[in-house]
């Protein structure tokens, strides 16, 4: 019996422990599925390079603009953008028509010949106009002297007028101040109110008081004859009426005092009103006087001052002297004019000859029916079509010259541009021909976004063609680093750059994983990987992606 009980207890304990193990296992499994899921990559030692990459189309290093002399109408465009052309190949043909450049050159020649003929007909010097100007200058000087004498008298009158104006201004200011003071006093007395209104209030209150007293007497008479409850009610009415009479008596006394005060101040108020009326009349007269004085000052001020009149006399004297001197010099220079005219005639003859040569040249080329390419290259731009009218020296098209070499232009950020230097050799990543090479030729700000971007121009040599797309990379050579991680493993917050390292702890029910922050310094990076130094080492596993935001010490589960 005792042995049977022990067996039962033993089996129960085993069942209990098994149940606990099962429950613990499932609870850990459920908890694991609720944890953030993370993807990791191991830290390794390897090479990373600071490379800048970009793509661009091959262009010629230089080009030239196709132009034509004179106005013409395009008949046919023989090429298209992107076409390769040879030297001497026809690009455009033209309709037959008038060459406006020739017409303009012929008109210029005709005018030059006319001017030359007129210069041969020059007459002898004529000084009549100069003498008339001198006579007029003398008359101006005499008038200026008279105006100066008149200005002397005007200056004295103006001084007296200004003095009278100042006196009138002071008189007006004093009256305005007096009126302002009277108005303030009147406004003070005016707040007392109307005597008629106050007296009417006294009368009305007296009548109301008499009515209340009559009502009180009636109540007393009724009280004398009343008994019981009616007597009690009448006594209350008598008390209320007596209280009304007391209040009304107080109102009547206050109204009588107000009426008396108004009656006492009315005489002073009326006196102030009379003074104000007289002062306003006096002010109006003073303002009229000031207006007259100011008008006189304005009229005299408009007259020329003595200083201006003296300056005018001096100016007229100077002008007359200069005219006399100029006439003397003119007569002296006329004696030398013939020599100068001979030189001018010679120069005019030379200009005429050059213009005749230009007209002859244009006449010889007037039958131009087409324009050809000066050099071999690729058509990069066409600005006109058949039927369009063109003028002299306006570009019809642009030809990129193949013999000038090739360039590729790539847009990068300012930070990327800091990694590049003029002369750096670039790697061409989409061509495996060793004969093709590229070198940084220039680094300039992007005209469209100079604050953010830079334009890198590469000089390209070798077997390439205009329009071909090249993928280029340039920058520092690869260096080896003790800790290299994928770019998406590097994070940054207000404290700086860091990575999340996954730590593992073994338990009887399996491994538990947690994330630990490791602050790092970025030494180099390329398109995929970053070289680090700091709290991370080769063999560590760092988080590259997670299903939820992570924090220091958080438990996670690995991607299965």
Measured CA to CA, the distance from residue 335 to residue 375 in angstroms comes to 59
Instruction: Report the DSSP pairing between strands 453-461 and 406-413.
Output: antiparallel
The answer to whether residue 114 sits within a structural domain is: no
pTM attached to this predicted model = 0.36
Tell me which residue of 161, 89, 144 sits closest to 374, measured CA to CA. Answer: 89
* Domain boundary pick from 304, 326, 348: 304
Give the pLDDT band (50/70/90) at residue 500.
very high
Instruction: Report the DSSP pairing between strands 453-461 and 529-534.
Output: unpaired
Choose between 134 and 339: higher pLDDT: 134
CATH number for the domain spanning 515: value is 2.40.420.20
Residue 253 has pLDDT above 90, yes or no: no
Whether residue 498 contacts residue 454, with contact meaning beta carbons closer than 8 Å, is answered with no
The answer to whether residue 135 sits within a structural domain is: no
Give the pLDDT band (50/70/90) at residue 508.
low
Burial category of 276 from C-beta neighbours within 10 Å (exposed 0-12, middle 13-18, buried 19 and up): middle
The answer to whether residue 206 sits within a structural domain is: yes
pLDDT at 15: 72
- The reply to whether 192 and 259 lie within a common domain is yes
Whether residue 458 contacts residue 472, with contact meaning beta carbons closer than 8 Å, is answered with yes
* Domain boundary pick from 413, 438, 473: 473
**Residue pLDDT, tens place only, 427-438:** 887 887 778 888
Residue 489 has pLDDT above 90, yes or no: yes
- The reply to whether 175 and 298 lie within a common domain is yes
Give the pLDDT band (50/70/90) at residue 540.
very high
CATH number for the domain spanning 444: value is 2.40.50.100
Mean pLDDT value of segment 309-315: 78
- The reply to whether 180 and 294 lie within a common domain is yes
- The reply to whether 468 and 488 lie within a common domain is no
The answer to whether residue 160 sits within a structural domain is: no
- The reply to whether 400 and 460 lie within a common domain is yes
* Cβ within 8 Å of residue 421, ≥6 positions away: 440, 443
- The reply to whether 30 and 40 lie within a common domain is no
Mean pLDDT value of segment 99-127: 70
- The reply to whether 402 and 448 lie within a common domain is yes
- The reply to whether 207 and 180 lie within a common domain is yes
The answer to whether residue 365 sits within a structural domain is: no
- The reply to whether 186 and 217 lie within a common domain is yes
The answer to whether residue 336 sits within a structural domain is: no
Burial category of 406 from C-beta neighbours within 10 Å (exposed 0-12, middle 13-18, buried 19 and up): buried
**Residue pLDDT, tens place only, 134-183:** 888 788 877 777 777 766 667 777 788 788 888 878 888 888 888 887 78
Exposed e or buried b per residue across 67-100, where buried means at least 16 C-beta atoms within 10 angstroms of its C-beta? ebbbbbebeebbbeeeebbeeeeebbebeeeebe
Query: Which of 28-42, 311-325, 476-490, 509-523 shows the lowest per-residue confidence on average (mean pLDDT)?
Result: 28-42
Give the pLDDT band (50/70/90) at residue 189.
low
Measured CA to CA, the distance from residue 205 to residue 210 in angstroms comes to 9
Whether residue 91 contacts residue 390, with contact meaning beta carbons closer than 8 Å, is answered with no
Q: Which residues pair with 90 in a beta bridge?
A: 372
Mean pLDDT of the chain: 79
Of 207-211, 278-282, 400-404, highest mean pLDDT: 207-211
Give the pLDDT band (50/70/90) at residue 298.
confident
pLDDT at 331: 74
* Domain boundary pick from 473, 488, 521: 473
Of 20-29, 72-81, 238-247, 345-354, highest mean pLDDT: 238-247
- The reply to whether 192 and 285 lie within a common domain is yes
- The reply to whether 253 and 179 lie within a common domain is yes
- The reply to whether 433 and 498 lie within a common domain is no
SS (H, E, C) 357-399: HHHHHHHHCCCCCEEECCCCEEEEEECCCCCCEECCCCCCEEE
Quote the number of domains for the chain. Answer: 4
Of 150-154, 307-311, 357-361, 465-469, highest mean pLDDT: 465-469
Mean pLDDT value of segment 484-510: 88
DSSP letter at 462? S
Measured CA to CA, the distance from residue 304 to residue 155 in angstroms comes to 9
pLDDT at 499: 94
The answer to whether residue 340 sits within a structural domain is: no
Whether residue 540 contacts residue 28, with contact meaning beta carbons closer than 8 Å, is answered with no
Q: Which domain holds residue 25?
A: 1-34
Mean pLDDT value of segment 71-97: 82
The answer to whether residue 383 sits within a structural domain is: yes
Give me the residue label for tokens 């052309």.
85
């Amino acid at each position: 019996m005792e042995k049977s009980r022990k067996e039962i207890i033993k089996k129960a304990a085993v069942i209990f422990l098994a149940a606990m193990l099962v429950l613990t296992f499932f609870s850990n499994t459920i908890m694991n599925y609720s944890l953030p899921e993370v993807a990791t990559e191991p830290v390794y030692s390897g090479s990373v390079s600071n490379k800048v990459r970009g793509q661009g189309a091959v262009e010629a290093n230089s080009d030239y603009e196709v132009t034509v002399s004179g106005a013409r109408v395009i008949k046919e465009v023989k090429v298209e953008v992107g076409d390769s052309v040879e030297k001497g190949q026809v690009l455009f043909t033209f309709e037959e028509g008038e060459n406006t450049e020739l017409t303009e050159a012929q008109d210029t020649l005709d005018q030059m010949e006319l001017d030359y003929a007129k210069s041969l007909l020059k007459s002898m010097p004529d000084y009549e106009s100069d003498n008339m100007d001198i006579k007029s200058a003398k008359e101006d000087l005499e008038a200026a002297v008279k105006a100066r004498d008149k200005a002397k008298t005007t200056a004295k009158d103006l001084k007296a007028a200004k003095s009278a104006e100042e006196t009138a201004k002071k008189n007006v200011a004093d009256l305005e101040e007096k009126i302002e003071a009277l108005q303030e006093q009147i406004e003070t007395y005016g707040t007392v109110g109307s005597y008629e209104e106050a007296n009417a209030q006294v009368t009305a209150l007296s009548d109301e008081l008499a009515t209340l007293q009559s009502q009180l007497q009636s109540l007393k008479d009724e009280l004398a004859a009343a008994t019981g409850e009616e007597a009690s009610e009448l006594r209350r009415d008598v008390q209320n009426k007596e209280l009304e009479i007391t209040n009304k008596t107080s109102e009547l006394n206050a109204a009588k005092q107000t009426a008396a005060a108004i009656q006492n101040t009315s005489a002073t108020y009326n006196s102030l009103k009379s003074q104000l009326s007289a002062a306003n009349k006096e002010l109006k007269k003073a303002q009229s006087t000031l207006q007259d004085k100011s008008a006189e000052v304005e009229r005299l001020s408009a007259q020329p001052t003595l200083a201006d009149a003296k300056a005018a006399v001096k100016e007229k004297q100077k002008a007359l002297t200069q005219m006399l001197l100029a006439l003397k010099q003119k007569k002296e220079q006329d004696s030398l004019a013939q020599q100068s005219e001979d030189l001018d005639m010679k120069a005019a003859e030379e200009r005429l000859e050059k213009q005749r040569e230009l007209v002859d040249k244009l006449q010889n080329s007037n039958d131009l029916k087409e324009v050809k390419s000066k050099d071999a290259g690729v058509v990069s731009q066409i600005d006109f079509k058949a039927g369009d009218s063109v003028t002299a020296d306006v570009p019809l098209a642009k030809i990129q010259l193949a013999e000038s070499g090739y360039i590729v232009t790539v847009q990068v950020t300012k930070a990327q541009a800091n990694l590049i230097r003029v002369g750096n050799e670039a790697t061409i990543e989409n061509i495996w021909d060793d004969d093709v090479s590229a070198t940084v030729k220039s680094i300039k700000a992007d005209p469209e976004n100079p604050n953010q971007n830079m334009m890198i121009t590469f000089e390209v040599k070798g077997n390439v063609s205009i329009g071909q797309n090249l993928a280029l990379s340039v920058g520092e050579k690869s260096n080896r680093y003790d800790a290299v991680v994928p770019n998406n493993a590097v994070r940054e917050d207000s404290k700086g750059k860091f990575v999340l390292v996954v730590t593992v702890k073994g338990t009887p029910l399996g491994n538990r994983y947690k994330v630990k922050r490791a602050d790092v310094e970025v030494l180099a990076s390329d398109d995929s990987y970053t070289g680090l130094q700091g709290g991370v080492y080769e063999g560590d596993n760092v988080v590259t992606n997670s299903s939820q935001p992570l924090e220091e010490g958080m438990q996670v589960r690995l991607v299965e």
